[in-house]
Amino acid sequence: MLTPQLKVLRQIITSGFIDQVAVRQDLYLKKPTTFASTRNVPYRALGVPGAVYIHPSSALFHRSPPDFLVFSEIVQTSKAWMKGITKINGAWLPTLGKGLCSFSRPVDVPGKVSAKTLEMQGGKQGDVREVLVVPHFGALGVDLPPVKKKQRREGARWVLVE
């Protein structure tokens, strides 16, 4: 369990290095696997062609590999190695890196009033509903956990409310 201070520090680092995010390659390929350590576990990083790996000098090298991380530099030797890494939560990316995310079509939240119900009840301008959207982060090609958003009716259209 993260302390609140550690969580905030990791979020600050994530926002500072939002263009240097890496995801485990098995998640990128949509074939989740379990690993004992990060040794030879490939990652996909924004803006870096091919696989990258956690440098052996990292404190995370002999631990279970995180799903997402940010890095401060890439060192190229026999492989591309990430140094200065910080484990992050993928659920932070739609908020901290909103400009790098695209979102799926909205889906009604189960148990909430749907758009169709609002229209049948004579929905009017300004009606608000909750929907789920799936964020897709940058060129990593990874779907992040669904997030709840609000939509407001403007005429015949529903638009996301920030």
pLDDT over 90 at 70, yes or no: yes
Same domain for 133 and 78: no
Residues 70 and 106 in one domain: no
Q: How many CB atoms lie within 10 A of CB 16?
A: 13
**Which of 40, 55, 88 lies at the terminal end of a domain, its last residue?**
88
What share of the chain has pLDDT > 70, as a percent? 90
pLDDT tens by residue, 89-128: 999 999 999 888 888 888 888 765 555 554 544 555 468 8
Task: Identify the residue with better confidence: 162 or 106.
Answer: 106
In a domain, 64, yes or no: yes
Burial 74-98 (b: 16+ CB within 10 A, else e): beeeeebbbeebbbbbbebbbebbe
Average pLDDT estimate for 60-72:
94
DSSP state of 62: T
pTM for the whole thing? 0.81
Residues 9 and 84 in one domain: yes
Cα separation, 156 vs 82, in Å, equals 49
Which residues 6+ apart lie within 8 Å of 9 measured at CB? none
Alpha carbon distance 70, 1 (integer Å): 19
Strands 48-54 vs 80-83: parallel, antiparallel or unpaired: parallel
Range of the domain at 106: 100-161
At 73, the amino acid letter reads E
Residues 22 and 62 in one domain: yes
Closest CA to 68 of 23, 120, 36: 23
pLDDT tens-digit profile of 13-41?
Answer: 999 999 999 999 999 888 988 898 999 99
pLDDT at residue 19 in the model: 93
Token pair for 57: 């000098």
